[in-house]
Structure 1
Amino acid sequence: MLGIGPGIFCIGYTIGTGSVTSMAKAGSQFGMQLLWVLVLSCVFSWVLMEAYGRYAVITGQTSIYSFKTKLKGGKWISILVVGGIILAQWNSLSGILGLSANAIYEMVVLFFPGVSGDSYWPVLGIAIGLIVLMYALLLVGQYSFFEKVLIVFVTVMGISFIISMFVVLPDPGQMLAGLVPSVPDVAGGKLLVAAFVGTTMAAPTFVVRPLLMKGKGWGPSHTAEQSKDAWISALLMLVINLSIMAAATGALYAEGKTIEKVMDMVYTLEPVAGKFAVALFMTGALSAGLSSVFPILMVAPLLVADYKEGELDTRSRRFKILTGFACLVGLTVPILGANPIFAQIVTQVAAVFVLPLVIACMLYLINQKQLMGTHRAGIWLNLGLVASLVFACIISYTGYLALMELVRG
């Protein structure tokens, strides 16, 4: 894990409770049928992390600032990308915090049934405690510290989910069958496909990457390190998401049980895997939530700083004010006592619409000889970027159809 630098933030942005929800729901409802979507999303995420990372270390410039200054109509493109990402991330933050607080409460109830009862005030209290802790950690204001905190969360998350998968390992034949492209022919099937891509090929994963590399001090001499960081991050994203889907498939799909929220795993997994295996899975879900809350709180000040100066500044007054406001936004769902699961999936679908624009902008920049010199994209990277752009456009259209079905329904 120490070999990963800025990529650890990519995992934080990508694998949260929304991702756990999508993977677990898909595994319980469709088995490994959507594995092909996950694999393609992770492959294209690797391509995009490589492209954004190479651009950052060679030019020393960040993505949003480059969009603004080097593209025709760049100011409006930059505003659209920044606004779209912040809106999607803040929208998901509230659901993530609500789910994380619920995960802690449900684990307490699992081992101490006597404390069950009205969950509103305990969950709200836990949510407030979590967000205050996250904000206090952010006030430290050092990139290297943020990286270490995320390494802890992501390591715990990865170990928890991988062990959970082996407790209830599904038939390997199901995994192979899941590599054949198909969309579940049921209501909500298109929505889940789009949500898969929205949670795995997350736009902030790529857009924020150059700014984080700048904060780490990486330059032209670190091209090998950034490439290693990109493929290890993509591989970890695939393994962790695969383990969540496989755990839900092995425990629930064969039994004909489906889940509507991550907390259902507590009650449906317990007879199959026992209390401690369930606690292990829920520890992973909680770590996923916390590993997402941390970078999401930072996304607005990072992108605004990128737009204005193209510099990473984690000690400024603006950083503290914007992260503080994000904390208040995050408490919305816990205060309302709402169920955030459906909103989480819809939010992930909404996130795919800005993705084609983010890919197209980098496809143009990384092929500019005056910027990249001998390091501009070759045939394989260009093929990967074009394929990822086509894939993103198809998924955006799929997301549009899914949302229209919701409206008509």
Structure 2
Amino acid sequence: MNHENGPANDHPTTKKSAGQKLLAFLLAFGPGIFAIGYTIGTGSVTSMIVAGNSFGMDLLWVLFFSCIFTGVLIYVSGSYYLFTGETALYAVRKHLPMGKALAIAIIVAVGIGQWNSLIGILGITSNVIFEILVINFPGLAEQQYWVVLGLAILVIGIFYLLLIKGSYSLFEKVLALFVSMMGLSFVFTLLFVFPLPSDIVRGLIPKIPQVEGAGILIAAFVGTTMAAATFLSRPLFIQGKGWTMDDFRTQKNDSIIAALLIFTISGSIMAVASGSLYGQGKEITTVLDMSGALEPSVGKFAVSIFFAGTLSAGLSSIFPCLMIVPLMLGDYNSGQLDVNSTRFKLITGVASILALSVPVFGFNPIQGQIFTQVFNVFALPLVVFCFLFLWNRKNAGLPANRLVTNIVMVGAFVFSLIILWNGLSDIF
């Protein structure tokens, strides 16, 4: 159902700028913006660059299947709310055997994973801003630690103030801006360098490179693309948007568009890294390595655009990662979107302080980001299992024809277990 305020007014739509039209389009699919924000951050950018640099397009199949599973799980979690009026963790606590213990386990696992991601995101984002500044003010390079730390405090402080003063509508608008900048930046950079079509086709054939670290990287891939937080928060954001059963088709389209955008943007990043870096033997260990490695192939202008996309990816993920723990607690307790309570302000404040870990202690943001994304995959099988159980509840008023979604969710569950096992095997 279209949420427009009646018939067209007397002002011709041609007067709208391209930016206004893009923003209106993105806001029409509001909750999907949060799905992209949770999914494509600096962790995703880092994982895709390292994968493209190390394996070319060989891991495209992981991204492909992850996006299919993600789209279906976004659809299922949103549809479950529209049909039953129950949010995810509230339903888990209410209907599953040992539901309270399972819900608490999910809150702990997803919360730790997302806060770890937030730490890595702020580390890379502050370093990206620093490197952009150094291009114009070379003298800052001698004070890297303090400048990066100051930038990190400034960024997280601004986002925290927006969180405690804002509303769902504001969060949606800010995310729409960053997501559009991110998508346009990465797709534009792809125009400068593109892998061979044969490499793309081969990349869709499932295979795990027999080299050290491949399992961890694949786990990081899945941890950032199939983010459990995306599915858990979906009903709450639909609630915040005010959608009802009349918006079922809009919810479905929103799920499809979110999955397509995730695949397009993430695939573009991998393709840029593959086309410009693969086979050159360059190691990506710092944020600056990304710039230096890409510049000979795509030029300074394209690198600047790519960095703008990376910055937008980081900024678009800070909001959702800061919010996830108080959102899950509100979901568990009452099944309501909580963005105004004292608990929300206190917990997001704690998360903001923890987010400063990388710049405070001077950790390598690239290595830290990949590690934090691996951690996200631990909660994934449990969350998929819970949605599979809820989607098949009897007498819940759910759609009669659920065969396709059930097959895909079983596939997602098996896929998540395999990826988790491979990641653990590489770690140990």
Q: What TM-score bracket applies, with the shorter chain setting the length?
A: over 0.9
Among 397, 419, 424, the residue aligned to 1:395: 419
The within-5 A match list for 1:7-406 is 7-373=32-398, 375-376=399-400, 378-404=402-428
SS at match of 1:184: coil
The whole-number CA distance in structure 1 between the counterparts of 2:97 and 2:180 is: 42
How far apart, in 1, do the equivalents of 2:139 and 2:387 lie?
55
- Structure 1 segments unaligned to the other structure (5+ residues): 405-409
**Residues 268, 329 of structure 1: alpha-carbon distance in 2 compared, 3 angstrom cutoff:** same
Shift of 1:254: 4.3
Q: Which moved more, 1:385-394 or 1:255-264?
A: 255-264
Q: Give distance in 2, aligned partners of 1:369 and 1:310.
A: 21
CA distance in 2, matches of 1:376, 1:307: 27
Distance 1:285 1:181 in 2: 28
Comparing 210-219 with 19-28, greater Cα deviation is found at: 210-219
Alignment partners' CA distance in 1, 2:295 and 2:265 = 21
Q: Aligned pair in 2 of structure 1 residues 155, 185: CA closer, same or farther (>3 Å)?
A: same
- TM (norm. structure 1) is 0.96
Q: Does the 8 Å CA contact 1:106/1:266 hold for their aligned counterparts?
A: no
The whole-number CA distance in structure 1 between the counterparts of 2:247 and 2:127 is 42
Deviations along 1:263-282, one digit per CA (max 9) or x if unpaired, are 31111122222222111111
Post-superposition CA distance 1:148-194 (Å, at most 9, x none)? 10000110011011111111112121111111111111110111111
**CA distance, structure 1, for counterparts of residue 50 and residue 28 of structure 2:** 32
Distance 2:149 2:372 in 1: 22
Q: What does residue 407 of structure 1 align with?
A: none
Q: How far does residue 346 in structure 1 lie from its aligned partner after superposition?
A: 2.1
8 Å contact 1:366–1:377 — kept in the other structure? Answer: no
1:52 shift after superposition: 0.4
Checking the alignment, whether the CA contact within 8 Å between 2:57 and 2:200 is kept in structure 1 is yes
RMSD of equivalent CA atoms: 1.3
CA distance, structure 2, for counterparts of residue 377 and residue 83 of structure 1:
34
For residue 380 of structure 1, report the CA deviation from its aligned partner: 0.8
Distance 2:167 2:316 in 1: 17
**Equivalent pair of 2:37/2:320 in contact (CA under 8 Å):** yes
Q: Deviations over 1:85-113 (max 9, x none)?
A: 00111112111101100001111223443
How far 1:383 moved relative to its partner?
0.8
Q: Measured at CA, do residues 182 and 129 of structure 1 come closer, stay the same or move farther in structure 2, by a change above 3 Å?
A: same
- Asked if structure 2 preserves the Cα contact closer than 8 Å seen for 1:28 and 1:249, the reply is yes
3-state SS of the aligned residue for 1:372? Answer: coil
Runs of 4+ in structure 1 over 6 Å off = none
Contact 2:223 2:374 in 1 (8 A): yes
Q: Is the 8 A contact 2:212 2:426 kept in 1?
A: no
Amino acid at match of 1:43: I
1:187 match: secondary structure: coil
TM-superposed deviation, 1:377: 5.3
Deviation at 1:37, TM superposition (A): 0.3
Instruction: Please tell me the residue identity of whatever aligns with 1:30.
Output: F
Partner Cα separation in structure 1 for residue 259 and residue 165 of structure 2:
28
Q: Could you tell me the percent identity over the aligned residues?
A: 50
- Matched letter for residue 231 of structure 2: F
Alignment coverage as a number of residue pairs: 403
Runs of 5+ consecutive residues of structure 2 not aligned to the other structure = 1-25
